[in-house]
Amino acid sequence: MTRNPGNRRRAAGWLLLPVLLAGCTAGTGAEVDATGAPAGAQSPSPSATGADGSAGESAAAGAQDLQDAYQRVIAQVLPSVVEIRTSSGLGSGVVLDDDGNIVTNAHVVGQETEFQVTFATSPTPYRGTLVGTYPENDLAVVNVRGVPELRPAELGDSDAVEVGDLVLAMGNPLGLSASVTDGIVSATGRTVTEPPSEAVPAGAVLPGTIQTSAAINPGNSGGALVDLDGQVVGIPTLAATNASQGGNAPAPGIGFAIPSNTVADVAEQLVRDGEVTSTNRAALGVTVTTLADPSGRPAGAGVVAVEPGGGAEAAGIRPGDVVTAVDGRPVDSAAGLSTVLADLEVGDTVDVTVLRDGDEQVLSVTLGELPAG
């Protein structure tokens, strides 16, 4: 289970990402002719495929190789993916070790401490108990005893994931157990914000997530995002919704997973200590609230309190200051400040712009670590 936490510059129910996407309407796809080629495209000449059909045979062999790889990875990893049921819903989880520890999302377990856990290889449910939870990274660990022949998954190095990598998402979407979808890694290093939930009333900022085109549906949360080496490179957590349709319509092909290096770091602490003792996330050392301008729009993060001995105090930030930018990035709210800090590292020295008595000041602050509690 242990992996290097790596670079932390960092998606169960249907969750909302503040993304506005163009609507998908009929007729936007390219026309195709009777051969399946785009209209107006030239068909390949017989010589392009070879008189003996070698190119066609090569394409068929490549497709067969890819199918074989998919089937091999599914057979290897699916026994490590479980369904977790609570009194209010269901999600997925991934077996971490032979001791029955299973990682999932904090929003899957909510406030509950006992669960019904079902494995892909057996219809028999087992009793699961909560080991620990860290809502700030939307991760939790559940333990199940008495399961014969546990199949722990292998966690990969999420820092090595590249855009364009083929991946499979495994879980229990909409209660359809042991389901698999495929796609690619669309982007890495995304910082996304979860809406408030039972586990995280204020919402959570997730740094460094992996964006994927593999379909992520309710129930996939806590499952496995797997590469073609059979390694779990992320835990699917969020599916984007289309803000132009009221924030409830799904935005197909936009899902997010917590990177496996973050998963390994947090899960190891939860298993060892029952809690997270080192967050490895940057903090300014202030307590803030969102301020509004006369029109009611967010206008900055107002400093309510300053942590004694923290970076903000050392730099001269005071209660009553209004943070409007960090490291050159605008800040218009408390959530905006959390989002900016999620992309920074403990120990970074950054410029922080504040308004004090109507005057703008730029202070240099060395960032500390976000407290675990």
Residue recorded with tokens 């000449």 = 45
Residue recorded with tokens 């319509």 = 249
Which one-letter DSSP state was computed for residue 24? Answer: P
Tokens of 266: 């947090």
Q: pLDDT value at position 181?
A: 96
Q: Are residues 177 and 245 in the same domain?
A: yes
Contact criterion met (CB below 8 Å) for 303 and 324: no
Residue 7 lies in a domain: no
Domain of 137: which CATH number? 2.40.10.10
Residue 137 lies in a domain: yes
Q: Which of 43-71 are b and which e, b meaning 16 or more Cβ less than 10 Å from the residue's Cβ?
A: eeeeeeeeeeeeeeeeeeeeeeeeeeeee
CA 132 to chain centre: 19
Q: What DSSP letter does each residue of 235-271 carry, written as one string? A: EEEEEEEEGGGTT-EEEEEEEEEEEHHHHHHHHHHHH
- Say whether 138 is catalytic: yes
N-term to C-term CA, the chain? 24
Q: Are residues 250 and 318 in the same domain?
A: no
Residue 346 lies in a domain: yes
Its domain, for residue 300, covers 282-369
Instruction: Please state, in angstroms and rounded to a whole number, the distance separating the CA atoms of residues 96 and 104.
Output: 10
Q: Which helix (H) or strand (E) holds 59?
A: helix 54-77
- Say whether 221 is catalytic: yes
Residue 307 lies in a domain: yes
> Of 229, 262, 295, which residue is a domain's last?
262
CA 92 to chain centre: 14
> Of 120, 144, 168, which residue is a domain's last?
144
Q: pLDDT value at position 265?
A: 97
Domain of 298: which CATH number? 2.30.42.10
Instruction: Please state, in angstroms and rounded to a whole number, the distance separating the CA atoms of residues 1 and 10.
Output: 20
Q: Are residues 198 and 126 in the same domain?
A: no
Q: Structurally, how many domains does the chain consist of?
A: 3
Neighbours of 116 (CB within 10 A): 15
Q: Which of 138, 165, 265, 321 is flagged as catalytic?
A: 138
Q: Are residues 138 and 160 in the same domain?
A: no
Which one-letter DSSP state was computed for residue 221? Answer: T
Q: pLDDT value at position 240?
A: 87
Residue 33 lies in a domain: no
Summarize pLDDT for 53-75 with one digit per residue, the tens: 677 788 888 889 999 999 999 99
- Rg of the chain over Cα atoms, rounded to whole angstroms, equals 23
Residue 218 lies in a domain: yes
Q: Are residues 193 and 233 in the same domain?
A: yes
Sign of dihedral through CA atoms 221, 181, 235, 95? positive
Summarize pLDDT for 9-56 with one digit per residue, the tens: 333 333 333 343 222 222 322 222 223 333 333 434 444 445 566 777
Backbone angles phi, psi at 40, to 5 degrees: 90, -15
Cα–Cα nearest to 82, from 288, 301, 235: 235
Backbone angles phi, psi at 192, to 5 degrees: -125, 155
Q: pLDDT value at position 29?
A: 29
Q: Are residues 252 and 291 in the same domain?
A: no
Q: Are residues 174 and 232 in the same domain?
A: yes
Instruction: Please state, in angstroms and rounded to a whole number, the distance separating the CA atoms of residues 247 and 290.
Output: 23
Range of weakest confidence among 46-60, 105-119, 221-235, 338-352: 46-60
Model confidence, pTM = 0.80
Instruction: Please state, in angstroms and rounded to a whole number, the distance separating the CA atoms of residues 188 and 258.
Output: 10
Q: Are residues 255 and 308 in the same domain?
A: no
Instruction: Please state, in angstroms and rounded to a whole number, the distance separating the CA atoms of residues 212 and 255.
Output: 5
Q: Are residues 102 and 165 in the same domain?
A: no
Q: Which of 80, 92, 107, 321 is flagged as catalytic?
A: 107
Instruction: Please state, in angstroms and rounded to a whole number, the distance separating the CA atoms of residues 222 and 228.
Output: 19
Residue 104 lies in a domain: yes
| Sequence-distant (≥ 6) Cβ neighbours of residue 86 within 8 angstroms | 108, 109, 110, 112, 115
- Say whether 107 is catalytic: yes
Average pLDDT over residues 108-127: 93
> Of 144, 168, 188, which residue is a domain's last?
144
Helices (H) and strands (E) in the chain, counts: 6, 21
Summarize pLDDT for 293-306 with one digit per residue, the tens: 999 999 999 999 99
Summarize pLDDT for 158-217 with one digit per residue, the tens: 999 999 999 999 999 988 988 999 999 999 999 998 877 776 666 789 999 999 999 999
Query: Which residues on neighbouring strands pair with residue 35, listed in sequence order?
Result: none
Contact criterion met (CB below 8 Å) for 209 and 256: yes
Residue 100 lies in a domain: yes
Q: Which of 80, 158, 186, 221 is flagged as catalytic?
A: 221
Assign 136 to helix, strand or coil.
Answer: helix
Q: Are residues 299 and 233 in the same domain?
A: no
